[in-house]
Amino acid sequence: MGSRTVVVGASVGGTKTVQALRSQGYAGELLVVEAEPHLPYDKPPLSKGYLTGTLGRDRLNLVSDAEIKDLAVGVKLGVRAKSLDVAANELALEDGERIAFDNLIVASGVRARPSPWQAKDGVHLLRTLDDAEMLKKNLQNSRSVVVVGGGFIGAEVAAAARHFGLDVSIVDPLEVPIGRVLGDPVGKLFTRLHHLNDVATHFGNGVEAITGTKGNLTVELTDGKLLSCDLVVVGIGAVPNTEWLASSGLLIENGLVCDEYCRADGQANIFGVGDVARWYHPRQRELVRVEHWTNAVEQAACVAHNITNPKDLTRYAPVPYVWSDQYDWKIQIAGETARASDYVVVEDPSNENRFAAVYADHSGLFCGVATVNWPRAMIQCRRLLDSENAISIPLNLLNDLLPGRPG
Amino acid sequence: MPVIKADLDLCQGYANCVMEAPKFFDISDDGVVVVLQEEFAEENRAKVEAAVRSCPVSALRIEE
């Protein structure tokens, strides 16, 4: 039918949009433009199994060559989008090419927030495959690392560094870094996990400066303490890749601002997908931007539906879901734990490494759940999160899962 | 009829498949996927494909 959809970004959001479009019967032309030189690859393992070496490079591929052929998608690698002409429906690339489109998918993702502290060398970020390759090589040749940032990426890097036997310290200005997501009482269990794995935590303490060179770095903390190390990894969040949209006239505010159908504000044929999209969440009733793998996949499916069914648009109202691997904990989080006002921890007496934290909002309704080493508990609770339920409902389900209970 | 295949060694129990297509997938007490119905009719293809796509470790595939 002569329609052409152009996708900017071939990470999980862009790739899954292409797959979902074909799955939902889109017959037009598809073209993906990606700034990185690599075929689509997956990012969550870069701070987990791929960094420790338990997961090989082949397991990172998001699509095979054969699948790219089946999808009948054109792929341009190693070329950045330069600018967007909304009125002309035309995308300009940095190599000078101009591409006309009927639909545009903005899936340009985020990049690691740059380190505000610069030493001569030895200070690493972790976002891309190339970052991970370089960090992995350096971890294997180092004795000690300081990780700046106690969020999920920082904690995963600390765990990977312990896997290689390094002395590990982790620094974060918050007293309980994971408390931002799970509340301080549950967050403290994650701090304890670092200690159980011989990682020194310097929480409630910022970084003043990083000086020296690889193999001989000094991290100066705001309380004056000095940490010596071979290597520093800075994991302090991410920044949306929206510079190429700056002159487009589209609304950019901490990401591409989209409506509840994931359409760029005021546009019928430009959609945001994944980490870069800040859309109006109909249930949360505010603009949100979510840097989770599952969000990119679900948003891709929603956008594909809205492109193939313009007269039957679906609003995008997902239940957030994210996982993290830290040491011997497989952590899964669903819902809006950060907004909870109360929580209950359910422990499995037969397994000290397994528990669930169930969260309630200010009116006592179930609003989120975190589990450690307990996938069945997670899915039972997660399925309840798109409707209103008293907190007793997930709690009863969890109690039924405990050994010695019926069911 | 097309058939759902699950690699139980790859599965990590993320359960995105259960969210996408609960008629076809569940998670066991051991935290791995259970395929509730291996065969599926064409009318369910989009749902099953969405479940396959949603697996973070590519543990699911469709055999035609």
Per-residue pLDDT of A11-39, as tens digits, reads 999 999 999 999 999 999 999 999 999 99
Positions in chain A short of pLDDT 50: 1, 407
pLDDT score, position A80: 97
Which residue of B lies nearest to A371 if distances are taken between CA atoms? Answer: B14
Residue contact B14–A375, C-beta within 8 A: yes
CA-wise closest residue to A143 among A124, A126, A164: A164
pLDDT score, position A407: 46
| Fold (topology level) of B3-63 | Alpha-Beta Plaits (3.30.70)
pLDDT score, position A210: 98
Q: Going from the N-terminus, what domains does chain A have, and what CATH number goes with each?
A: 4-111+238-308 (3.50.50.60), 114-234 (3.50.50.60), 328-401 (3.30.390.30)
Which of helix, strand or coil describes residue A402?
coil
A277, HSE (Cβ side, Cα atoms, 13 Å): 34
| Mutant choice from B54, B55, B60, B64 vs A, greatest count of A C-beta within 10 A | B54
Q: What is the pLDDT of residues B29-62, one digit of tens each?
A: 999 999 999 999 999 999 999 999 999 999 999 9
pLDDT score, position A117: 97
If contacts are CB pairs under 8 Å, which of residues 50-109 in chain A contact chain B? 59
Instruction: Provide the b/e sequence for A122-151 (b: ≥16 CB within 10 Å).
Output: bbbbbbbbebbeebbebbeebebbbbbbbb
Contacts of residue A374 in chain B, CB cutoff 8 Å?
31
If contacts are CB pairs under 8 Å, which of residues 358-387 in chain A contact chain B? 373-376, 378-379, 382-383
| Mutant choice from A16, A23, A55 vs B, greatest count of B C-beta within 10 A | A23
**ipTM associated with this complex:** 0.96
Interface membership of B43 toward A (CB under 8 Å) = no
pLDDT score, position A405: 58
| Mutant choice from B10, B16, B52, B64 vs A, greatest count of A C-beta within 10 A | B16
pLDDT score, position A2: 73
